[in-house]
Structure 1
Amino acid sequence: MKHPFDKFNLPDYLIEAIKEIGFDKPTEIQEKVIPVVKKGRDIIGQSQTGSGKTHAFLLPLFNQIDPKKAEVQVVITAPSRELAEQLANAATQLASHSPEEINVQTIIGGTDKNRLIQKLQHSQPQVVIGTPGRLLDVIESNDLRIHTSQYMVVDEADMTLDMGFLEDVDKIATRLPEKGKMLVFSATVPQKLQPFLKKYMHSPIVIEVENKQIIADTVENWLISTKGKNKIELIHQLLTIGQPYMALVFANTKEYVDDIAHQLKKKGLKVAVIHGGITSRERRRVMRQIQNLEFQYVVATDLAARGIDIEGISHVINAEVPQDLDYFVHRVGRTGRNQLSGIAITLFGPDDEQDIALIEKRGISFQPKEIKNGEVVDSYDRNRRDHRKGKNVNKTDFDPEIHGLRKKLKKNVKPGYKRKIERKKEEKRIRAFRLKSKK
């Protein structure tokens, strides 16, 4: 019986590997990326977490590997140790099915460098996966020789940029052969990434996969007001009322992560902390403990947690609305995986109204909740006053910038402020007209 991946003409061992991990059919990004990689084109792939992009590039790249050549043939960078390890695990699983040995080497911080150098001096791996800093280190020392590699993958490019690693990736890319192919994958493609893309990519194919279902239908998406409440007390209540299997609490800064964790520990909870301020050794130890389910509660920042792929996270709590709204989907996507049920809870105050409205504009709906008598119960719609007055509330036309200006105007009328609102409205109308004219 034919397997759905047979249409890509992959070797038998890759089909066996796919069967072992239970892939029933290709995802949308796999359908689009695999044939293009096989044609030898540069690719910019834009897709969200959980779209299947890892195997979208690993499968066709393994298809190109010649096991007889003991030289580097594929270089893959990831911005965090956790992400690099996940990629390496996926690549090692594919390699384990190959009839001929394919050497996959992980190169990340926090590991024994001398032992790594000894291995590299003994033999060069065919597939190299690592974090930019450590990769560049062994490339510049000439222990890892990537001039033979025909492919370079930059995974999570936007996160690489955010964490300040793009310069290292740039230096790595200069060591590749001129005719080597570049595959760049990213949830978003920020403007600051464009110079890098233009420098190394030749007529790239842009493959964009929309995340049609932004939040899994197995996830309940709650919204709870913090007005007049102690936020950390509220978090403690939410963690202890429902007895989550495992809860992940997000905050925007490492300082606030530490504060939340400290307060929760004082209340008797065993809490793990993950942020960029802890040492690599400590971080690896904590990650092992989390994977072994030694912690029920984890408090983390966005960049530190983006690489965490823990089975069975039942609750995600946003202690703060993320500063970059794209991270909202990354956070909530940590629960409700593999058709398991999950609860995502966002705490918000009056200053977060505009951000909540912007999230709703993306097609995400919230269930208003509150805590009463030790239980989470349904609450009222925060826009209820507008509905009661019979106003025509159209969220797609909601402009948070003008809304914010109006709120300020009500609080404190300054000379010229009304004119500023009208000017903003006129600018919006002109932009909308120009966009319409271009279509």
Structure 2
Amino acid sequence: MTKFSQYNFNDAINKSLKEIHFDEPTKVQEAVISLVNKKKDIIVQSETGSGKTHAFLLPSMNALTKDQEVQLLIATPSRELAYQIYEDTQNILKNYPEEYNAFIFVGGADRDRQKRKLEAHQPQIAIGTPGRLWDLIRENDLHVDNVQRYVVDEADMTLDMGFLNDVDQITNKLPEDREMMVFSATIPQKLEPFLDKYMHGPKRVEIKNSSIIPKNVDNWLMFTHGRDKKEIIYRLMTIGEPYMVLVFANTKKTVDEIYHYLRNKGLKTARIHGGLTPRERKRTMKQIENMEYQFVVATDLAARGIDISGVSHVINAEIPDDLDFFIHRVGRTGRNGMSGIAITLYEPGEDHKVDEIEHMGIKFEPKDIKNGEIVDVKERDRRQSRKATQEKLDTKLVGFVKKQKTKKKPGYKKKIKQAISDERRQQRKIEIRQERRKQRDARRKNNS
């Protein structure tokens, strides 16, 4: 079994690792550290919470010199993740001499103050959100002429949030011979042109989970029957003794509604979403880290990449539109070998969303609340859902379904499911094209 002591890190890093109780590397750290040491461009696909941050921090910081110039540049799409990486960096730097520094640059912070700080001296490590980093680089406040290692963290999220153009501009200003590392939970096809443009024969590393949902996580499903979800969430939070509950909703509006409801019920609850000011978000994250809150309500993009320790329960107040987020959400609990519970609430008419999740290979345990207790319930009755689905299909497909059922040959159920799935996919494409056409027509009218 590999130990951190085998990597020949400097004494400062080894002392810091001992203080934060890091002894053995995770799978992604074991796969990546040696590649970083060899100065290889790398593309790393690994789930949130797998230890990616220290995979690039430890070997990069081990190579730092005392020269007052930016040697390690880290771009990350959210302020919260930037602060988290900054704190991880400070936990390692604390045993370094005073000459070594890391600065953080995020939107919403005082830019003039950041400029004055850079005029005094440049840090060896610069961490920030793409927009603010690019502003400082473009105006020649942050000097990146001698960057040796460049990290793009949570690249898929960077793409989703529309920051790829800023990252592209930053990358174009860096030395040609710098080492580039891209870390992401997924590698979307739309990201490939950017990777091809700037990376030199990158080594791809993919760390797959042994299962989509960890075996130590109980994955429950609850049908709301049209009841108030906020009341159900409150009851779930007050049954038993959850250590830390993380509730996910799809929009800032829904987060605020759940947050205010729980606060009015007397639960000390925090919220995280993009509508909060940078100061509020930073203060809230600090309070969560200090265990001042037992209950947290958040949106996906605001919480993505943030490591909240000790989450015993995850509650999906809404099923996410992007099902990859479902995996990220559930992955917040059951970490470090601890048991966890993930609870997904679904409304009438959302049976097809649950089907899509199950087609990913995820199994649910149907549950309900009765007499103040969580109880098992029978498998969901999907007859109405199937009927509704069949009514929406065109007559040709309905005939195909009936024909396949009549034949009852092996694999007919699989063929039916595939045909229905193909029809839905085609229908979505048509709807998207129609919507885009409407948007183009509207823009032409406005410009005419």
Q: TM-score, normalised by structure 2?
A: 0.83
Q: 1:139 to 1:15 in 2, by over 3 A?
A: same
Inter-partner Cα distance in structure 2 for 1:228 and 1:305: 28
| Match in the other structure for 1:78 | 76
| Match in the other structure for 1:185 | 183
Segment drifting more, 46-55 vs 338-347: 338-347
Q: 1:364 to 1:15 in 2, by over 3 A?
A: farther
Paired amino acid for 1:144: L
Structure 1: 5+ residue stretches without partners: 387-402, 433-439
1:178-257 alignment runs, 5 A limit: 178-257=176-255
1:121-136 alignment runs, 5 A limit: 121-136=119-134
For residue 363 of structure 1, report the CA deviation from its aligned partner.
4.2
Q: Is the 8 A contact 2:49 2:307 kept in 1?
A: no
| Match in the other structure for 2:42 | 43
Inter-partner Cα distance in structure 2 for 1:101 and 1:248: 39
| Match in the other structure for 1:370 | 368
For residue 325 of structure 1, report the CA deviation from its aligned partner.
1.5
| Match in the other structure for 2:20 | 21
| Match in the other structure for 2:328 | 330
Q: Does 1:280 align with 2:308?
A: no
| Match in the other structure for 1:94 | 92
Segment drifting more, 306-315 vs 177-186: 306-315
Paired amino acid for 2:398: K
For residue 42 of structure 1, report the CA deviation from its aligned partner.
0.8
Among 156, 159, 162, the alignment partner of 2:157 is 159
Structure 2: 5+ residue stretches without partners: 405-413, 423-448
Query: For 1:241, what is the secondary structure of its paired residue?
Result: coil
CA RMSD of aligned residues (A): 3.0
For residue 35 of structure 1, report the CA deviation from its aligned partner.
1.3
Q: Does 1:416 align with 2:415?
A: no
For residue 410 of structure 1, report the CA deviation from its aligned partner.
4.2
Inter-partner Cα distance in structure 1 for 2:55 and 2:32: 6
For residue 319 of structure 1, report the CA deviation from its aligned partner.
0.6
1:257-296 alignment runs, 5 A limit: 257-296=255-294
Inter-partner Cα distance in structure 2 for 1:414 and 1:333: 38
Q: Is the 8 A contact 1:249 1:299 kept in 2?
A: yes
User: What are the Cα deviations for residues 73-98 of structure 1, in whole angstroms up to 9, with x where unaligned?
Assistant: 11001111111111111222222233
User: What are the Cα deviations for residues 59-81 of structure 1, in whole angstroms up to 9, with x where unaligned?
Assistant: 221222222x1111110011111
For residue 284 of structure 1, report the CA deviation from its aligned partner.
2.3
Q: 1:117 to 1:42 in 2, by over 3 A?
A: same
User: What are the Cα deviations for residues 35-59 of structure 1, in whole angstroms up to 9, with x where unaligned?
Assistant: 1111111110000012111111112
User: What are the Cα deviations for residues 183-212 of structure 1, in whole angstroms up to 9, with x where unaligned?
Assistant: 000000011111211111111111111012
For residue 3 of structure 1, report the CA deviation from its aligned partner.
7.5
Inter-partner Cα distance in structure 1 for 2:106 and 2:36: 26
Q: 1:376 to 1:196 in 2, by over 3 A?
A: same
Inter-partner Cα distance in structure 1 for 2:301 and 2:5: 37
Inter-partner Cα distance in structure 2 for 1:376 and 1:135: 49
Inter-partner Cα distance in structure 1 for 2:2 and 2:417: 54
Paired amino acid for 2:286: R
Q: Is the 8 A contact 1:409 1:418 kept in 2?
A: no
Q: 1:213 to 1:100 in 2, by over 3 A?
A: farther
For residue 428 of structure 1, report the CA deviation from its aligned partner.
5.5
Q: TM-score, normalised by structure 1?
A: 0.85
